[in-house]
Chain A
Amino acid sequence: MVGIVVVSHSAKVAEGIRELALQMAKPEQKIIAAGGMADGSIGTDAMRVSEAIVDAMTDAGVIVMVDLGSAVLSTDTALEILDENLRARVRIADAPILEGTIGAVVEASVGSPLEQVLATAEGAREMRKCL
């Protein structure tokens, strides 16, 4: 089952999205929050992201959900310091972080492969809410 990492500038945002996503997750599913800095400041920490990727890793791989700006740069940096064979099984989703995480978690929960979980996460860009 594809693991999910949630990267936000805010630890509370990452934790909150994880909390919500767990509502839809299977008990054995890995959803790891990697928000904020070690000292509690707002920001992204590439070391924390790389550790979260390792924690979330399964044979099926990991999708990383990111919020804004430096979250992408920090995740790219986290990939650079990871082992090459782990890196090959990680995708960064270009998607709204909350909706994308929910989509990815449900897609992963039914055992879909990495590219399909990525597609669902990114499909959340098109999701209308006010119908």
Chain B
Amino acid sequence: MTEIQLVLTNPTGLHARPASQFVQTASKFKSKVKISAGGKQVDAKSILGVMTMGLRSGTAFTVTADGEDEVECVAALASLVESKFGEE
């Protein structure tokens, strides 16, 4: 299992478009991927789950991946978040 803590720094937070990019990226990997914040955990491959988290800019959250490609998966998601989803 690989885990990383990330902070959303893009202006809009994890609203629909970045959420969909997040889900699309997570879905490229075989690992089970979850995100958690504020005591809630959702499947990172579920668009409804990720959107329901309603994560705003400045929020910290944890990404957990479990599977054969977990390291690459977490790295890809971290890089997406750090690139601010291309918003800037």
Chain A residues packing against B (C-beta within 8 Å): 20, 23-24, 26, 102-103, 105-107, 109-111, 120, 123-124, 126-129, 131
Contact = CB atoms under 8 A, between A and B. Distances in A.
Interface residues of B, number: 16
26 contacts: A20-B16, A23-B16, A23-B17, A24-B16, A24-B17, A24-B20, A24-B21, A26-B24, A102-B16, A103-B47, A103-B51, A106-B24, A109-B24, A110-B24, A111-B27, A120-B46, A120-B47, A120-B48, A123-B46, A123-B48, A124-B48, A126-B48, A127-B48, A127-B52, A128-B52, A131-B52
**Helix, strand, loop or mixed for chain B's interface?**
helix
B34 interface: no
Nearest to B22: A106
Nearest to B23: A106
A126 B47 CA distance: 13
A109 B20 CA distance: 9
Contacts of B11: none
Across chains A and B, which 10 residue pairs bring their CB atoms closest together, nearest first? Answer: A24-B20, A110-B27, A106-B47, A106-B20, A123-B48, A23-B17, A131-B54, A103-B47, A103-B48, A127-B48
